[in-house]
Chains A and B, each alone.
Chain A
Amino acid sequence: GAGVSQSPRYKVAKRGQDVALRCDPISGHVSLFWYQQALGQGPEFLTYFQNEAQLDKSGLPSDRFFAERPEGSVSTLKIQRTQQEDSAVYLCASQGNAGELFFGEGSRLTVL
């Protein structure tokens, strides 16, 4: 596709469940980023990859959050034992040649 694709668009989880969010970046983009956006706030950095290498995971809030990009294209953000404070929109972006990020529509996670 022409843009960044994320799935699912909406996910409702019970507290304690594990969730997996998928990101399909723009074809050919080497760098891929994950951000978390709370309501009324700007996106906050979680982690990023260059090809399959995870170069920075300093923004992951706890060891319950895990991201992977095993073949350097599709990426998955996994959240284990979800908590209510994990409720947010999770945005994926791939990076263009001038450093600009192209975002997907996001995955809205609600933890009950």
Chain B
Amino acid sequence: EDQVTQSPEALRLQEGESSSLNCSYTVSGLRGLFWYRQDPGKGPEFLFTLYSAGEEKEKERLKATLTKKESFLHITAPKPEDSATYLCAVDQGGKLIFGQGTELSVKP
């Protein structure tokens, strides 16, 4: 059965303290791995799609990378406005299966 596991569940950083979020997956034939950001009371907001091992994508302070077993979301010099829950998901035959998310808090 396809599974997506994110770690840690929660992460507290000081402003400027770089770190990484992990997304481990088991899926038969990856068709895409997606990262989303979700703010409280809002729907998830699309960030990146990765399709093959070795692929990387960047957006501002965020960089997503992909291997055959996991994906990392690297946050460089985070700011308080980066505080949110970050979700990853894999494409399972056209529908996305989500992990439980990592709640990131960045303190000034």
Residues of chain B with a CB closer than 8 A to A4's CB: 43
Which of chain A's residues has its CB closest to B31's CB? A99
Measuring CB to CB, which residues of chain B are less than 8 angstroms from any residue of chain A? 4, 6, 31-32, 34, 36, 41-46, 49, 87, 89, 91, 94-101
Contact partner of A103 (CB less than 8 A), chosen from B6, B43, B91, B95, is B43
Question: Are B46's CB and A101's CB within 8 A?
Answer: yes
In the A-B complex, the 10 residue pairs with the smallest Cβ-Cβ separation, listed nearest first, are: A103-B43, A42-B98, A100-B46, A42-B100, A103-B44, A43-B98, A45-B95, A105-B43, A42-B101, A104-B43
Which of chain A's residues has its CB closest to B89's CB? A42
Question: Are B96's CB and A45's CB within 8 A?
Answer: yes
* Residue A41 interfacial (CB < 8 Å): yes
Q: Do A44 and B45 contact each other (CB < 8 Å), given the known contacts A99-B32, A100-B34?
A: no
Distance, CA A12 to CA B91, complexed state (A): 33
Residues of chain A with a CB closer than 8 A to B101's CB: 40-42
Other A-B pairs, 6, CB within 8 Å; known A33-B95, A33-B96, A102-B46:
A42-B6, A43-B44, A98-B49, A99-B31, A101-B96, A103-B43
* Residue A18 interfacial (CB < 8 Å): no
Count A interface residues, CB 8 Å.
25
Contact partner of A99 (CB less than 8 A), chosen from B6, B36, B49, is B49
Residues of chain A with a CB closer than 8 A to B44's CB: 43, 91, 101, 103
Q: Which of A55-112 contact B (CB under 8 A)?
A: 55-56, 91, 93, 96, 98-106
Q: Which of A1-49 contact B (CB under 8 A)?
A: 4, 31, 33, 35, 40-45, 48
Measured between C-beta atoms, what is the minimum distance from A3 to chain B in Å? 9
Distance, CA A105 to CA B40, complexed state (A): 10
